[in-house]
Structure 1
Amino acid sequence: MIPYTYSLHKIQHTSSFGFHPDDYSRFKFGDDMVAKKFGKDLAQGFIKDFLEDNLEGEQIVVISSPYCFIPTATFAMKNYFVYELNHWLVENNRMVVQEAKVHRTITYKDDYGALSAEERMKLIGNDSFHIDKDFLKDKVLFFLDDIKITGSHEKMIMKMVKDYGLTNDIFMLYYAELVNHDIHPNIENFLNYHQIKSIFDLDKIIKSGNFCFNTRIVKYILNCDFNSFSIFLERQTDDFITSLYNLSLGNSYHTIECYSKNLNFIKNYLKNKNYKLI
């Protein structure tokens, strides 16, 4: 089965993306305002370029990029994509979308964006993806992701589709896609970290009033050197620190050795705080 692929922005050059790298960087580290813009823009583009003339009467299921416990940055973009798409569907007397989740068992901690195509496939190939096959029967599936660089994630999604014997019409939707394959895949890391050069650059996003946790920011904080991490944590609210710890446990980050020092610091901080309250 060959899925239909749509990308709003097609990256041909390293100096022109169709969007600002700073926006993309903030999006990847939890800026919900940028996620809103990206989601709305993707929905409007896809409606104009394809949906206006297709899939009338079909039940659409929107599926964000696979995750375990902590959503990816794409999840926030997905929310606004769905809101914008539903507005248009209702105005055109079509059925609103449903949602489903691809459950993912992750086997690595490496920074995916720095790797080559071969390294990415080798790394992600050990992960396992799961979905509710019965819920999807006779529906059109929209798999959303923020960017397509080498297509490794798409290959894993299609492997899951084959393993589950899904025969649905499938659409892979991306905010951006690298179409010039002379550009090294590590362009993704250039975008990811364009505005985030240290843990202290996260403060503006976290305290903007438009912040939402995702896997990238949690891993970035836990993987930071301890001195910077402890200074950064002193500047955060108790609610932020509690959420950080709860999410970390939910993704089993307590089992990853390189995160242990920072996580133990949070654990002891919360224990001492609760003890003082008692």
Structure 2
Amino acid sequence: MSSVYSLHKITGVDAFTFNPADYSRFKFGDGHIAESFGHALANGFLEQHSNELRGGKQLVILPSPYFAIPTASYAMAAAFKKTINRYLAINRLPVAEEAKVHRYKTYSLDYGELDADSRLNLILNDKYYLDSHFLKGKLLIFIDDIKITGSHELVIRNLLKQFSLEEETAYFLYFAQLDHEHIHPRIENELNYYFVKSIHDLSVIIASGNFKVNTRIVKYILNAEFTAFERFITRQTAAFREQLADLAISNGYHEMEEYKNNFLHLLTITHQNTQIWLSTYKKDNAQTLTSPNLP
């Protein structure tokens, strides 16, 4: 059995019951907004589904799939879990567990720019995994920030069947959902970049005091025009640059041609400032790439 809940419905291109600038900041790592979204989603969900939670079944919260770097919804799911756990504890119910939808492929394309068919074709080429032994017999809550075409939800539903979990109670929760079939899916991209118009807008979010790095941020920075990237990255702390380089490597972005120039420059200045070195890396059947400023 499965059910879908969304806190907000998008019924028009300008019909938002939430602040689109806040949503854009959330997508690019504003932890304060992620927390407020997560708490609001949990409270809205409890208003409609608290009776189902009182059955005493073990809850498991699963943020949207990711490989090594979490998505923006991971921070929102963490805040959701806090609010849900307070409710469960007060009612002397088992507190929620957390699990991961493992994803084994990543890409450089901006998902929000694609139409419905392109989205589906892209994610169907990914590989996913669920720990069926851990999830069996539990109430599953899948959390994502927005539902536009339902492609990701379809992937999860297929995964539940693949891992013999289709009989488990599952909820698909979204902060917002597109509720008008004639609105183009690119509205997601418009929301994503409502506040962030250039790489330099990220500095405000990074300095906000509760910055949560995610895969969108890493890709956006590495894909920036080189002059803008160079100016932006030199203004960041050494710790931020080191974290960015390590995260890029963990998700395989160092092997993507689109990110090559910015990544090598990042390695150069990271080496100079922290003495952490990575002089070369190889792609299968490709020429070794070397930063000229590294030994």
Place the TM-score, normalised by the shorter chain, in its bin. Answer: over 0.9
Structure 2: distance between partners of 1:109 and 1:161: 27
C-alpha distance after superposition, 1:188-229 (max 9, x if no partner)? 001000001100011100011111100001000000011000
Query: Does 1:22 pair with 2:26?
Result: no
Amino acid at match of 1:191: L
8 Å contact 1:107–1:126 — kept in the other structure? no
SS in structure 2 of the partner of residue 155 of structure 1 = helix
Structure 1: distance between partners of 2:144 and 2:173: 6
SS in structure 2 of the partner of residue 80 of structure 1 = helix
SS in structure 1 of the partner of residue 137 of structure 2 = coil
* CA drift at 1:52: 3.6
Query: Does 1:100 pair with 2:99?
Result: yes
2:226 is matched with which residue?
226
* CA drift at 1:272: 2.1
2:195 is matched with which residue?
195
User: Aligned pair in 2 of structure 1 residues 54, 233: CA closer, same or farther (>3 Å)?
Assistant: closer
Aligned residues with identical type, % of pairs: 47
Amino acid at match of 1:42: L
2:290 is matched with which residue?
none
Structure 1: distance between partners of 2:44 and 2:123: 30
SS in structure 2 of the partner of residue 50 of structure 1 = helix
Amino acid at match of 1:184: H
C-alpha distance after superposition, 1:78-99 (max 9, x if no partner)? 0100000100111112111011
SS in structure 1 of the partner of residue 143 of structure 2 = strand
Query: Does 1:172 pair with 2:195?
Result: no
SS in structure 2 of the partner of residue 212 of structure 1 = coil
Structure 2: distance between partners of 1:58 and 1:22: 37
* CA drift at 1:3: 2.1
2:117 is matched with which residue?
118
User: Aligned pair in 2 of structure 1 residues 215, 92: CA closer, same or farther (>3 Å)?
Assistant: same
Q: Which blocks of at least 5 consecutive residues in structure 1 are unaligned?
A: none
Structure 1: distance between partners of 2:10 and 2:48: 18
Amino acid at match of 2:251: N
Give the length in aligned residue pairs.
275
Q: Which blocks of at least 5 consecutive residues in structure 2 are unaligned?
A: 277-295
TM-score, normalisation: structure 2: 0.91
C-alpha distance after superposition, 1:39-64 (max 9, x if no partner)? 00000000011124555211110000
* Aligned-residue CA RMSD (Å): 1.3
User: Aligned pair in 2 of structure 1 residues 96, 132: CA closer, same or farther (>3 Å)?
Assistant: same
1:45 is matched with which residue?
44
* CA drift at 1:273: 2.3
TM-score, normalisation: structure 1: 0.96
Query: Does 1:256 pair with 2:269?
Result: no
